[in-house]
Structure 1
Amino acid sequence: MENLVEWLVGQVWSIGLVVFALGAGVYFTIATRFLQIRYFKEMIKLLFEGKSSETGISSFQAFCLALSGRVGIGNIAGVATAIAFGGPGAVFWMWVMALLGAASAFVESTLSQVYKSKVGNEYRGGTPYFIEKGLKMKWFAVIVAVVVTLSYGMLLPGIQSSSIAVGFENSNGINKYITGIFLVVLLAAIIFGGVKRIAGVSQMLVPFMAIGYVIVTCIILIANVTEIPSMFALIFSSAFGVNEMFGGIVGAAIAWGVKRAVFSNVAGVGEATYSSAAAEVSHPAK
């Protein structure tokens, strides 16, 4: 089993992922004429315009749902992993992928709106829906749906819950199984309330979570303000092989930077398409 998992990880997190993620980001950025920069102000404005309805959630709730998966262990442990294996230069390529990935995220979210369906009293959509309806590849849509169900239903939550449980065990001596049971009960109460309850909880928690993350980051930067110039110098010199110490791992810096960026902001992965499809908007691009 361990060998199978290692083989699958090697296939998924291969150089193909790096090329595809960067290539898609560049293509969509050019195709939309740097939409993520030109319409940044409009994006902020639209967050607070849409309202929830009986069938859909508001734009802000959809944003909070998407952001809840982007602020977390991927931004902390993911960055540390990128630096450990790719050197400081990996941080620069994470920035690049974040910028380019914004275009990919816009396209996939728009597609989820275009091809969503109304089932009963709610909207349903996401990557499998636009693969089936847009590409006419139902067989592939089924595969994606199964993989997504397994990944987001069992595998990915395990990373988050394990980090929380280990953190409480190391800092407060609380048995990790107790923490795990508490998390299961808490999440069950939220998840089985449907998309409305999930969106409502996200709307309340995510802004504080994101603001807290930014505040802690600022505190760390202020506490080490004298090191900031040298930090940027090391990141840029390592990213392009100028620094002698990291000159031989430029490829690793790019690869690990892109991989960790994809894991962190999930641009192009399709994670945000499900919350995007649930939003009640007047135009798919909103």
Structure 2
Amino acid sequence: MTATIMNIVNKINGVLWGPIMMFILLGTGLMFTIRLRFLQVTKLGTAIKEIFGKGENKSDAEGLSSFQSLTTAIAAQVGTGNLAGVATAIASGGPGAIFWMWVSGFLGMGTIFAEAVLAQLFNESKDGVLTGGPAYYISKGLKNKFLAGFFAVTIIIALGIMGNIVQSNSIATAIINAAPRVPAIVIGIGIAILAGLIFIGGIGRIGSFTEKVVPIMAALYILGGLVIVFININMLLPALKMIIYGAFNPRAATGGLIGVTVKESLRYGIARGLFSNEAGMGSTPHAHAVAKVEHPVQQGLVSIIGVIVDTGIVCTITALVVLTTGVLGSGLTGAALTQEGFRVGLSGITSNFGIQFIAVCLFFFAFSTIIGWYFFGEQNIKYLFGNKGIKYYRILVLAGIIIGATLEVELVWNLADMFNALMVIPNLIGLIGLSSLVVKSLNEYIEKYEKRLR
């Protein structure tokens, strides 16, 4: 029975996550990039100032600061996909896949900007707490309650429940690899207790957690990766050449080590980039909707920094570790390939230090994703059922975390992928349908608000 369900789900995912979806996601990013006049480049300095500038925007009982909203979004963006997904892209599409990942990230900044602006334009206060996201801008902006409800249901299932089962399993696997005697059920209960303590604190505690943990988490991983790149500095230029040259001639870039084509390089690079930074998927707008800002475009600009951190920095570090340590030809893929790169790269410290290092990073990546995805699901529970539905959702998520630590989760992961694709569709319809509002908001911001940052 399980095999039959798996086969059906895989066939559905083959259609949903095929070339058409990649074309639509990338096309939406290209459309916004052009209509917004390449703001990824022209407004990058302004975006940085919005985060680290005068600091007028503070968190309170109603919402989060711009920085807290950004770190909550990054908590969800930077996850196990940054370790496993990038390595899979390289193993399956060659080093050139990273070039196409950068391209998808660049265009994705336009999409994620639009998502954040619309989330701000159509957010609302419920019982004194800000809430918002695609369900709100689809129902209030596009005037389509069916699509909004469809989105809300799919994201609750994809991220809040099934996604967090997978993340819990990832943490349990990492801990058991480092400490085999610890029972999986004990790990699951421990994760649930830690997560529950954060959940019950509401939006304030979630924002406080992410603004403290996410920068440390990212810095730890980046530092470890940079140490490995520095140790293998003589391989840095060859690695970069493999990425650039491999985007257009993958066989020659690796000397035939990986028999891939330009089509495969393009496919895996774009797919992993879009999945990693979540641009267009409708998840991160929930974090940006609750930011306390003067103008929606302020948070839109802040949101593009999340893509830079996720795809431009963390994913690139993973790629450089794999390429400079020479583990690409090991036959490994996914998280195992990244783990091998860190094992080889940090073997001068102790033989197993790299494995232990990745286990620690994986814990923080997966746990922060649990917090982010729980929050995204909660916003949609509020949309569908109001605050009265939150306690039941919370119990369901915590139960899933405990059970997830003990399961084989391949089917659950594939189901999560399916619902992920289903939630993308109404979100993209909303983004395209409301694109003129995004352009109008940017023009208004330039005319009235931008001067204060000069």
- The TM-score by the shorter chain falls in which range? over 0.9
Name the structure 2 match of 1:142: 149
Name the structure 2 match of 1:267: 279
Name the structure 1 match of 2:366: none
- Kept after mapping to 1: 8 A contact 2:251/2:260: no
Report how far residue 8 of structure 1 moved. Answer: 2.9
- Kept after mapping to 2: 8 A contact 1:21/1:258: no
| Larger CA deviation: 130-139 vs 9-18 | 9-18
Name the structure 1 match of 2:15: 11
Report how far residue 5 of structure 1 moved. Answer: 2.1
Name the structure 1 match of 2:367: none
- Kept after mapping to 1: 8 A contact 2:40/2:110: yes
Report how far residue 35 of structure 1 moved. Answer: 0.8
Which deviations, in whole Å up to 9, do the C-alpha atoms of 1:8-27 show, x marking residues without a partner? Answer: 32133211121112111111
Give the whole-Å Cα distance in 2 for the aligned partners of 1:65 and 1:184.
19
| Larger CA deviation: 40-49 vs 69-78 | 40-49
Give SS of 1:69's match: helix
Identity rate, percent: 37
Give the whole-Å Cα distance in 1 for the aligned partners of 2:259 and 2:240.
16
Which deviations, in whole Å up to 9, do the C-alpha atoms of 1:86-115 show, x marking residues without a partner? Answer: 121111111111111111111100000001
Give the whole-Å Cα distance in 2 for the aligned partners of 1:242 and 1:179.
42
- Higher RCO (C-alpha under 8 Å, 6+ residues apart): 1
Give the whole-Å Cα distance in 2 for the aligned partners of 1:150 and 1:158.
11
Give the whole-Å Cα distance in 1 for the aligned partners of 2:172 and 2:203.
26
One-letter amino acid of the counterpart of residue 193, structure 1: G
- Kept after mapping to 2: 8 A contact 1:52/1:58: yes
Question: For 1:226, which of 234, 251, 266 is the aligned residue?
Answer: 234
Name the structure 2 match of 1:45: 49
Name the structure 2 match of 1:208: 216
- Kept after mapping to 2: 8 A contact 1:61/1:199: yes
One-letter amino acid of the counterpart of residue 145, structure 2: K
Q: RMSD of aligned C-alpha atoms? A: 1.5
One-letter amino acid of the counterpart of residue 10, structure 1: G
Give SS of 1:285's match: helix
Give the whole-Å Cα distance in 1 for the aligned partners of 2:28 and 2:94.
25
- Kept after mapping to 2: 8 A contact 1:240/1:247: no
- Structure 1, gaps ≥5 residues long: none
Name the structure 2 match of 1:285: 297
Q: Which runs of 4+ in 1 moved over 2 A?
A: 174-177, 241-248
Name the structure 2 match of 1:166: 173
Report how far residue 160 of structure 1 moved. Answer: 2.2
Which deviations, in whole Å up to 9, do the C-alpha atoms of 1:131-159 show, x marking residues without a partner? Answer: 11111111011010000111121122233
Give the whole-Å Cα distance in 2 for the aligned partners of 1:8 and 1:197.
38
Report how far residue 263 of structure 1 moved. Answer: 1.6
| Larger CA deviation: 201-210 vs 47-56 | 47-56
Report how far residue 247 of structure 1 moved. Answer: 7.6
One-letter amino acid of the counterpart of residue 143, structure 2: K
One-letter amino acid of the counterpart of residue 7, structure 1: K
Give the whole-Å Cα distance in 2 for the aligned partners of 1:176 and 1:252.
37
Name the structure 2 match of 1:194: 202
One-letter amino acid of the counterpart of residue 235, structure 1: I
> Scaled by the length of structure 2, what TM-score is found?
0.61
What is the aligned residue count?
A: 286
Give SS of 2:297's match: coil
Report how far residue 242 of structure 1 moved. Answer: 6.0
Give SS of 2:296's match: coil
Question: For 1:124, which of 119, 124, 131 is the aligned residue?
Answer: 131
| Larger CA deviation: 258-267 vs 236-245 | 236-245
Name the structure 2 match of 1:91: 98
Give the whole-Å Cα distance in 1 for the aligned partners of 2:247 and 2:208.
41
Report how far residue 260 of structure 1 moved. Answer: 0.7
Q: Does 1:180 align with 2:188?
A: yes
| Larger CA deviation: 151-160 vs 27-36 | 151-160
Name the structure 2 match of 1:276: 288
Q: Does 1:33 align with 2:40?
A: no
Task: Identify if the C-alpha distance between structure 1 residues 124 and 171 changes in structure 2 by more than 3 Å, giving closer, same or farther.
Answer: same
Task: Identify if the C-alpha distance between structure 1 residues 56 and 232 changes in structure 2 by more than 3 Å, giving closer, same or farther.
Answer: same
Which deviations, in whole Å up to 9, do the C-alpha atoms of 1:167-191 show, x marking residues without a partner? Answer: 1111111222221221111111111
Report how far residue 254 of structure 1 moved. Answer: 1.1
One-letter amino acid of the counterpart of residue 219, structure 1: V
Give SS of 2:125's match: strand
Report how far residue 64 of structure 1 moved. Answer: 0.7
